[in-house]
Amino acid sequence: MKITAVLGCVCLLIAAATLPSILRAQDAGGAPVVIRAESREVLVDAVVVGKDGKFARDLAAKDFRIWEDNKEQKISGFSLESSGVSPERPSKHYIAMLFDTSSSAGSSGLMSARQEGVRFVDGFASPDRYMAVVSFNINGGLRVGQNFTVDKDLTKKALNSLSATQRNGPPQADPAPPPPPRGRATPPPTSTQATDPYEFRNMLAAVRNLAASLGSIRGRKALVLFSGGIAMSSDLTADLQMTIDACNKANVALYTVGPGPGGNANSTTDASAVSSTQRGASARLSMLTDLGTNDQDAARLLSEGTGGISFTTTNDLAASLGKVAQEQDQYYLLTYSPAADSPEGSCHELRVKVDRSDLEVRARGSYCTSKQVDALSGKPAGAELEARAASGGPGNIVAKMQLPWFYEDPGAAKVDVVMDFVPSAMKFQKEKGKLHGEFDLAGVAMRADGSAAARVSDTVKVDYDTQAQADAFLKAPYHYENQFDILPGQYIFRMAFSDGSAGFGKAEMPLKVDGWDKKSLGASGIALSHDERPAADLAAGLDASLLEGMRPLVAKNTEVAPTGINQFHAGAPGFFYFEAYEPLLADVKPGTAPPLLGVRTRVLSRASGTQVEDSGVKSVGSFMRAGNPVIPVVAPLPLTSLKAGAYRLEVTVMRQFGAPVVRTADFDVN
């Protein structure tokens, strides 16, 4: 009964993702323990409407059919989810509005779109509906005007501040695409991304970037794209498919708003919504191949492939956009058990059909399996790796590891396991026409008495078509990330990994998580990074309980990728990320003065303890967000001024009163 209750709650929040059943308990030492059942389920949310556009509420499980990769599945669970009908499971809904301010619609089209956006907010804002405003222009990329909020005045202010941006010469290079899933090798860039002149490629890359940001938020998300249209070209076929896949992976339904017949962005056509039927991915790919220059075809494919709707601009667009809100409020939740051999992180085509000709069903066209935090729990491979981690042998694969941590609440922190190594000893075997290799990983956080406070384990699988690809993988550094929850305390964390043959590696380092009462000033651990990139962080204003998976490290629309390697080259880029926690910010209203908070960063010699660099006390006011006690900060390491040597970064967070909080991280310069 207890497992069923927990699953019911999770099913409401996460749609079309594979989920193990999960319970959390406390072991003898008070640490969270994850108990997992073996069953896994795919949850698919489906919106069904009649010819009048109204939601059909009279359906049963027998009316639906689901195919995964063209194989029909048996529906094992069915429910009608409606806003307000289940007080014990309150739902939250997320709608992000993305405006292409450099599209051919121009300033007059943008003015009309933002006015309709304001009307939409006035008509559909509610305490459980979070809205966000983002803009894109060809010269400056993505800009977050307002993170998710339920305050409609803040949303309207962001809408009213939008302005059209004139194109300034040829389009810039493509925005950086979203990073690959954590724990996976980085795919090589394609040549077309570097040379294709089509400006719409940049806009589609921005949509993918935004979808990646939305992926960390639990539940259903809607992204409304206001654009002057997409000038379709066969060269954009791959970009359209990548965009559809990125939205599906993040559980984002894409609703496009573009010009009506004839390409007029201010058309007053009555056909405000372009109807579509649910197709499989193969049918959409065929249609992509046959596309000509019809802007609405491209927009319709983006919406159709992600379970959304394509709207044409009308004189009552706000009323049409109401369908977006309504579809967030009511939908059918279908459940089935996937094939047992579906590998972690794999993606699969979905197709949903209703056996009634008078109804249309919308559901996203694919899903990707999720990664378990402790995938080897109870298995011989996990026990063997834990034993190796506790042994004295160093292994024959060298790994570098860092353990930045961030508070989830006063009683727990989330630790990022970040590791880099070269998997040179891995052996590939021929399986199903592919060169297949895999390695297991298991980590344990040990208390001083030798007991385990937390565990994390994983199996990483890689497949290549040619020996040359496999050889390249074995020579390149592999970046791995995972995470686990732990109580405040002092531990030794050991991570061991094996490639199933003679290859074995191990990394070990101390882990200290200080306690925090959520009333006083706090600070997280420090994450080091070699790279930064522009990113939209729409989840910045949300409580941690509304997020899932690996949270990106983003501050002021700049994201850093944490590294397990703490070695930097003098003069090369280097960054660090941390979070300050100021409870006083929770009561600060927009427009009022926030509390004064300063950060001082020093670089010390690890050998002598003497100071090498001192930033002085600097305000972090620009990183603060009204009403949000979490202050994420990204700053550069002073590598230009440092000589080769071993250093310690010291970050001190301080108020005008009370004790400061100090955090440190070691790094080397060569």
Q: In this structure, are 600 and 569 located in the same domain? A: yes
Which residue type does 417 have?
V
Among 282, 298, 73, 281, smallest CA distance to 203 is for 298
Task: Report the C-alpha gap between 515 and 460 in whole angstroms.
Answer: 33
Query: Lowest-pLDDT range, 23-27, 249-253, 305-309, 564-568?
Result: 23-27
Task: Report the C-alpha gap between 164 and 147 in whole angstroms.
Answer: 20
DSSP conformation letters of 625-651: BTTB-EEEEEEE--GGGPPSEEEEEEE
Task: Report the C-alpha gap between 363 and 410 in whole angstroms.
Answer: 38
Query: Of the residues 449, 483, 515, which one is the last residue of a structural domain?
Result: 515
- pLDDT at residue number 314: 62
CB-hemisphere CA count at 13 Å for 431?
Answer: 10
Query: Of the residues 305, 330, 355, which one is the last residue of a structural domain?
Result: 330
- pLDDT at residue number 71: 92
Q: Which residue has the tokens 């954009």?
A: 236
Q: In this structure, are 320 and 274 located in the same domain? A: yes
Residues 402, 563 contacting (CB under 8 angstroms)? yes
Residues 497, 440 contacting (CB under 8 angstroms)? yes
Task: Report the C-alpha gap between 296 and 317 in whole angstroms.
Answer: 16
Among 50, 49, 48, 39, smallest CA distance to 77 is for 39
Query: Lowest-pLDDT range, 10-24, 62-76, 190-204?
Result: 10-24
- pLDDT at residue number 32: 30
- pLDDT at residue number 321: 82
Among 64, 62, 72, smallest CA distance to 47 is for 64
* CATH classification of the domain holding 455: 2.60.40.10
Report residue 269's pLDDT band, with 50, 70 and 90 as the boundaries: very low
Q: Give the range with max mean pLDDT: 92-101, 187-196, 378-387.
A: 92-101
Q: In this structure, are 314 and 395 located in the same domain? A: no
Among 73, 2, 77, 9, smallest CA distance to 37 is for 2
Residues 353, 68 contacting (CB under 8 angstroms)? no
Report residue 25's pLDDT band, with 50, 70 and 90 as the boundaries: very low
Distances (CA, A) of 182 to 243, 318, 345: 19, 38, 10
As a whole number, mean pLDDT of residues 473-490 equals 90
- CB-neighbour burial class of residue 226 (10 A; exposed 0-12, middle 13-18, buried 19+): buried
Distances (CA, A) of 26 to 115, 472, 487, 513: 52, 44, 11, 18
- pLDDT at residue number 121: 92
Name residue 435's beta-bridge partners.
430, 464
Helix (H, G, I), strand (E, B) or coil at 21: strand
Query: Of the residues 493, 515, 537, which one is the last residue of a structural domain?
Result: 515
Task: Report the C-alpha gap between 496 and 440 in whole angstroms.
Answer: 8
Q: In this structure, are 466 and 547 located in the same domain? A: no
Among 32, 33, 41, 31, smallest CA distance to 4 is for 41
- pLDDT at residue number 197: 40
Task: Report the C-alpha gap between 579 and 468 in whole angstroms.
Answer: 42
DSSP state of 263: G
Q: In this structure, are 151 and 204 located in the same domain? A: yes
Report residue 260's pLDDT band, with 50, 70 and 90 as the boundaries: low
Q: In this structure, are 429 and 453 located in the same domain? A: yes
Q: Which residue has the tokens 């997280």?
A: 524
Task: Report the C-alpha gap between 195 and 229 in whole angstroms.
Answer: 22
Task: Report the C-alpha gap between 114 and 100 in whole angstroms.
Answer: 11
Q: In this structure, are 349 and 404 located in the same domain? A: no
Please provide the average confidence, as pLDDT, over all residues in the chain.
76
As a whole number, mean pLDDT of residues 86-92 equals 52
Q: Residues of the chain with pLDDT > 70: what percent?
A: 72
DSSP state of 583: G
Task: Report the C-alpha gap between 135 and 105 in whole angstroms.
Answer: 14
Q: In this structure, are 245 and 105 located in the same domain? A: yes
Q: In this structure, are 71 and 111 located in the same domain? A: no
What DSSP element (H or E) covers 118? helix 106-124
Residues 331, 253 contacting (CB under 8 angstroms)? no
Residues 508, 460 contacting (CB under 8 angstroms)? no
Name residue 18's beta-bridge partners.
42
As a whole number, mean pLDDT of residues 522-540 equals 86
Q: Which residue has the tokens 């939740």?
A: 333
Task: Report the C-alpha gap between 262 and 447 in whole angstroms.
Answer: 69
Following CA atoms 307, 308, 309, 315 in sequence, which dihedral angle do they give, to the nearest 10 degrees?
Answer: 170
- pLDDT at residue number 522: 94
Name residue 504's beta-bridge partners.
498
**pLDDT over 70 (residue 18):** no
Helix (H, G, I), strand (E, B) or coil at 276: coil
DSSP state of 126: B
Q: In this structure, are 143 and 240 located in the same domain? A: yes
Q: Into how many domains does the chain fold?
A: 4
- pLDDT at residue number 306: 87
Give the domain extent around 48: 2-90+333-368
Q: Where in 465-564 does DSSP place strands (E)?
A: 478-486, 489-498, 504-513, 522-523, 527-534, 553-555, 558-562
As a whole number, mean pLDDT of residues 139-166 equals 82
**pLDDT over 80 (residue 107):** no
Instruction: Using the CB atoms, write b or e for 128-141: b if 16+ within 10 Å.
Output: ebbbbbbbbbbeeb
The phi and psi torsions of 654 (rounded to 5 degrees) equal: -140, 150
Task: Report the C-alpha gap between 128 and 149 in whole angstroms.
Answer: 10
As a whole number, mean pLDDT of residues 144-169 equals 79
DSSP state of 371: P
Q: In this structure, are 459 and 533 located in the same domain? A: no
**pLDDT over 50 (residue 22):** no
Tokens read off for 345? 């992180």
Query: Lowest-pLDDT range, 118-127, 404-413, 544-553, 624-633?
Result: 544-553
- CB-neighbour burial class of residue 429 (10 A; exposed 0-12, middle 13-18, buried 19+): exposed
**pLDDT over 80 (residue 239):** yes
As a whole number, mean pLDDT of residues 231-243 equals 76
DSSP state of 88: T
Q: In this structure, are 253 and 105 located in the same domain? A: yes
- pLDDT at residue number 199: 66
**pLDDT over 80 (residue 273):** no
Among 251, 247, 281, smallest CA distance to 350 is for 281
Report residue 376's pLDDT band, with 50, 70 and 90 as the boundaries: low
450: left (phi over 0), alpha (psi -120 to 50) or beta: left
Q: Where in 410-521 does DSSP place strands (E)?
A: 412-421, 429-431, 434-446, 452-464, 478-486, 489-498, 504-513
What DSSP element (H or E) covers 297? helix 295-306
Among 235, 392, 204, smallest CA distance to 299 is for 204
Report residue 564's pLDDT band, with 50, 70 and 90 as the boundaries: very high
Q: Where in 3-101 does DSSP place strands (E)?
A: 18-26, 32-50, 64-68, 71-73, 77-82, 93-100
Q: Residues of the chain with pLDDT > 90: what percent?
A: 26
Cross-sheet strand order for the sheet of 645-654: 567-568, 661-669, 645-654, 598-605, 611-619
Report residue 664's pLDDT band, with 50, 70 and 90 as the boundaries: very high
